[in-house]
Chain A
């Protein structure tokens, strides 16, 4: 229990610094911005209470906002994602319910389950983020393109990082 908390605090700082110092500087043709830091919300343990998920999401978004001058846009997107998380989790529940001691990861839940879960939430987050950032109707389609391309890229990086963080990874499943 306690070790979980420390692990997640460490993950928080690692992801925020990676996002701010590395991924914020990545760009391809102005359309692709990966936002990998949402891996933190994705990988909170199943037993985390909903209110804590919400507050952690908000704080995470606000920390990213602080470094990228987007004042509240990341916070709004993350809070929305944190709120949707419990609904997505119950929508794609495996037959024998979740093991409360586990975390949503490829290692614990298998590849197909994790990709479904991560893809839906990543899309939701990017959708809210890019539309909030522009806040203007005239650019609807170019933003949609950004949402889709960036989501694909973020998702690839998130899946890759799953293998990176736990070397034994999905080979067990």
Chain B
């Protein structure tokens, strides 16, 4: 027993080192799982408030640009109003086709990064505003990410620029499915995989979300094909994709609540269990 204490005393620095590293590793691994509510994230009270103050100052420099974006979007939305269409008498039917599926909420971006391998955003809406993990986040220009952690007033968003983010996409003109990942490096370009060989693709083709994942609505802009290469014997294209959103300049985003995601997930889970 005495020897044990002597041993511990002799190596106490090394043991302390191992303990602290183990704690750090525990935090990393815990955080890598998608759904958790760790304390060490930018959505907690201290960091949320500091970053909030900072972004308020920073936003003044982007006011002109933001205003322009909002005006453009307003115009777009106005064009979709009921008044913008020719009225035809429709017989109202209590049909599920007319129930609302998505609700959008706005939020301000408090903190944002594009320079890391795994990038996150912090936004100023949280649990009290009805934000929950796994909701989609979009900007007027396209997809942004998925809600990861929520606190009462803040939430952190796993950006598309993250190794754990996968977005299910579709080529707009012919409907072929693909999956978007980001391989690090330049924050303006992503990689689109799994588009089959027989799909015809040209540079500049529009890529949109497929709506398969119950996170984003269908048809949200993702980006444009920059180059699509096909090696001999490959069954799938390797596509370099230019994002439609400039992730370095995000100031306002929309959070998408899918009112039917629970239903879709339960069904998919039941199907999987049967197999």
Contact = CB atoms under 8 A, between A and B. Distances in A.
Contacts of B20: 54-55, 57-58, 75, 79
Contact of B116 (A50, A66, A68, A135): A68
A142 B24 CA distance: 24
Interface centre among A27, A55, A65, A132 (most CB of B within 10 A): A65
A70 B30 CA distance: 11
A134 interface: yes
Nearest to A78: B24
A120 to B, nearest CB: 18
A133 B120 CA distance: 13
A104 interface: no
A75 B122 CA distance: 20
A117 to B, nearest CB: 19
Given A27-B115, A54-B16, A136-B163, A69 B42 contact: yes
A20 B122 CA distance: 13
Given A65-B40, A142-B184, 10 more contacts: A26-B115, A66-B42, A69-B41, A69-B120, A75-B20, A76-B21, A83-B17, A133-B117, A133-B118, A135-B32
B77 interface: no
B62 interface: no
Interface in A59-80: 61-62, 65-73, 75-76, 79-80
B184 A30 contact: yes
Interface in A115-154: 130, 132-136, 139, 142-143
Interface of A: 17, 20-21, 24-27, 29-33, 50-51, 54-55, 57-58, 61-62, 65-73, 75-76, 79-80, 83, 86, 130, 132-136, 139, 142-143
A62 B17 contact: no
Given A71-B30, A72-B27, A76-B21, A51 B185 contact: no
Contacts of B21: 76, 79-80
Contact of B40 (A26, A72, A139, A142): A72
Interface string B114-148: 11111010100000000000000000000000000
B31 interface: yes
Contacts of A33: 115-116
B113 interface: yes
Interface string B176-212: 0000000111110000000000000000000000000
Contact of A142 (B12, B13, B41, B185): B185
A76 B184 contact: no
B163 A134 contact: yes
A173 to B, nearest CB: 31
B34 interface: no
B261 interface: no
Given A55-B20, A142-B184, A71 B41 contact: yes
Given A58-B20, A72-B28, A133-B118, A30 B187 contact: yes
A145 B244 CA distance: 28
B34 to A, nearest CB: 13
Nearest to B158: A69
8 contacts: A30-B187, A68-B116, A69-B122, A71-B31, A72-B24, A75-B27, A79-B17, A143-B117
A73 B28 contact: yes
Interface string B213-255: 0000000000000000000000000000000000000000000
A55 B184 CA distance: 32
Contacts of A132: 28
Contacts of B24: 58, 61, 72-73, 75-76, 79
Interface in B24-65: 24-28, 30-32, 38, 40-42, 44, 46-47, 50-51, 54
